[in-house]
Amino acid sequence: MARAAFDPVRAVQGALEEIRAEVIAAGGDVKLVDVAGRVVQVTLAGAFTRSCQGKRTVLKRLERSLQARCPWVERLEAVCPPPERRAR
């Protein structure tokens, strides 16, 4: 039987869904934007957007959790949502 091709986007989505419940419980949210090679881009929302230090801390924790599930991920970056998706 042929083996399914590895889909990095699906792998990251699954890992983020596992992590997301904790993020929501802490008053925030995380959404996948893109997977570019070994770099994953996400948007952070809620409590995590109020301070730069808090955002960096959460991003590092998310990065470690993601790397535990997807060891090929080199870096996690937070990006701003596109203008049409920003709250007004």
What CATH architecture does domain 9-80 belong to?
2-Layer Sandwich (3.30)
Whether this prediction's pTM lies above 0.85 is answered by: no
User: What integer pLDDT is reported at residue 1 of this predicted model?
Assistant: 62
| SS3 category, 76 | strand
In angstroms, rounded to a whole number, what is the distance separating the alpha carbons of residues 52 and 14?
27
One-letter amino acid for residue 83 of the chain: P
pLDDT interval class at 83 (50, 70, 90): low
